[in-house]
């Protein structure tokens, strides 16, 4: 075993803190890597921001070089990857750069070791801090690293790369299944979206402005979509399909409305509507039963209620409450109790489609904190195909989601097995 001490022959440089609060990012330039831009499988280049060459040269100690191992050292700690690009780059203060100067170990092997349980637990052990964990450069230098033969390192790394490739392939298949849902839903509805229209200057007759006079809601892209929905699909307003449209409130934070034991009633907030059109299994806040049955009685959920996020960053998220247990919602969610003409899961997947999201985009106001009120929720245009088509859409969507989930679980399971195999090889 060797430690990552800061001495010649082991590590040339860890890098340095880039405490620059005045960095201005640009559309193109030098990649500026943050912890959220990478994981143990590599760097997500789609999420990278860029700095100017002048700023890059100013942050000389945090420049990243080909072959450097990036190790997260603040917040989310212990995540490592190799910078394998022959290009200029920089990084922020939450990343340590481990620069090897020892031919007994390869960067790829060290990164894989730091990511496996044997390496990660050492990062966790030396971390400190309360709300946010962190590791300093000296502490990183105390991590013990095995030094198997280079042949063995190459074999282990090759096995890990094969596992990464297999994982990536399965995740890609899952993504393709999910991407196809939108096209399937629109095809079943016979809905062809109007051509994209991004013009910034347009004119309409005053008499055609209807309820809103703002330029945003009267843009041709929205007017064209509305024309298709009304005239080709005979869409109706959601209010005509609803028994009730309601929303909740939020009791005072830290007040006596909440409880922590099992008698509490789940208090669903917009961030707990999941991407798969459901509600999160573990709800963070629980209401006292007397609050649920008293001041919040009007926003009690029933199985089959449609949930639409109508405020803030999660606006447009849609799900169905599919449990037969009590629950309640806050004011950032509109609950829609539907009649028997439509199935809630169908409405959910229509609203999650590109057409449904465009309708919600039209309704929300382009202000700092976007929102849709309950009256506007009732104005959402919805095509209503026969029940057979609704069921076909629901069945196919669920089938694809199950297949995608199976692929994702297999991908992650096989990856964890590969990491365990890597660890066992080092412990022999």
Supply the Cα-derived Rg of the chain in whole angstroms.
Answer: 27
Q: What is the pLDDT of residues 156-185, one digit of tens each?
A: 999 999 999 999 999 999 999 999 999 999
Residue 77 parent element (H or E): none
Residue 323 parent element (H or E): none
All residue ranges of the chain with pLDDT < 70 are 1-22, 207-210, 253-254, 366-368
Q: Are 18 and 91 in contact (CB under 8 A)?
A: yes
User: From CA 37, how far away is CA 30, in angstroms rounded?
Assistant: 14
User: From CA 71, how far away is CA 38, in angstroms rounded?
Assistant: 10
Token digits of residue 278: 């459901």
- Across the strands, what pairs with 69? 82, 98
Token digits of residue 27: 């559309």
Q: What is the pLDDT of residues 227-250, one digit of tens each?
A: 889 888 899 999 999 999 999 998
User: From CA 10, how far away is CA 390, in angstroms rounded?
Assistant: 63
Q: Does this model's pTM top 0.85?
A: no
Q: Is 205 exposed, middle or buried (0-12, 13-18, 19+ CB in 10 A)?
A: exposed
Provide the pLDDT for residue 263.
87
Token digits of residue 188: 């079943």
Provide the pLDDT for residue 207.
67
Provide the pLDDT for residue 253.
60
Provide the pLDDT for residue 21.
59
Backbone angles phi, psi at 247, to 5 degrees: -145, 170
């Amino acid at each position: 075993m060797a430690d990552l001490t800061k001495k010649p022959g082991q590590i040339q440089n860890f890098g340095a803190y880039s405490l620059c609060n005045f960095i201005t990012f640009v559309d193109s330039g030098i990649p500026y890597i943050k912890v959220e831009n990478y994981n143990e499988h590599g760097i997500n280049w789609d999420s990278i921001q860029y700095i100017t060459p002048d700023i890059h040269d100013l942050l000389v100690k945090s420049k990243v070089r080909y072959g450097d191992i990036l190790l997260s050292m603040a917040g989310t700690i212990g995540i490592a990857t190799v910078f394998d690009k022959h290009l200029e780059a920089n990084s922020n203060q939450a990343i340590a750069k481990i620069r090897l100067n020892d031919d007994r170990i390869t960067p790829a092997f060290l990164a894989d070791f730091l990511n496996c349980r044997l390496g990660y637990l050492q990062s966790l052990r030396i971390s400190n801090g309360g709300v946010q964990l962190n590791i300093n450069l000296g502490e990183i230098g105390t991590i013990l690293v095995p030094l198997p033969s280079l042949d063995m390192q190459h074999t282990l790394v090759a096995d890990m790369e094969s596992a990464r490739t297999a994982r990536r392939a399965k995740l890609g298949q899952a993504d393709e299944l999910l991407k196809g849902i939108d096209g399937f839903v629109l095809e079943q509805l016979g809905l062809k979206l109007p051509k994209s229209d991004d013009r910034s200057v347009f004119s309409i007759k005053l008499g055609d402005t209807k309820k809103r006079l703002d330029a945003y809601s009267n843009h041709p892209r929205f007017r064209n979509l509305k024309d298709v929905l009304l005239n080709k699909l005979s869409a109706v307003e959601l209010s005509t399909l609803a028994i009730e449209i309601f929303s909740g409130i939020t009791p005072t934070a830290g007040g006596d409305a909440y409880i922590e034991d099992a008698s509490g009633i789940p208090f669903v907030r917009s961030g707990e509507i999941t991407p798969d059109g459901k509600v999160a299994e573990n709800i963070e806040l629980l209401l006292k039963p007397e609050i649920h049955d008293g001041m919040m009685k009007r926003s009690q959920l029933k199985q089959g209620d449609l949930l639409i996020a109508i405020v803030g960053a999660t606006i447009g998220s849609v799900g169905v409450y599919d449990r037969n247990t009590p629950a309640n919602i806050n004011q950032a969610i509109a609950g829609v109790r539907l009649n028997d003409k439509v199935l809630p899961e169908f409405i959910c997947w229509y609203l999650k489609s590109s057409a449904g999201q465009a309708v919600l985009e039209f309704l929300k106001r382009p202000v700092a904190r976007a929102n849709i009120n309950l009256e506007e929720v009732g104005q959402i245009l919805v095509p209503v195909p026969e029940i057979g088509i609704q069921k076909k859409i629901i069945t196919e969507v669920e089938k694809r989601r199950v297949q995608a989930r199976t692929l994702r679980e297999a991908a992650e399971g096989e990856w964890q097995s590969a990491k365990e195999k890597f660890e066992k090889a080092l412990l022999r």
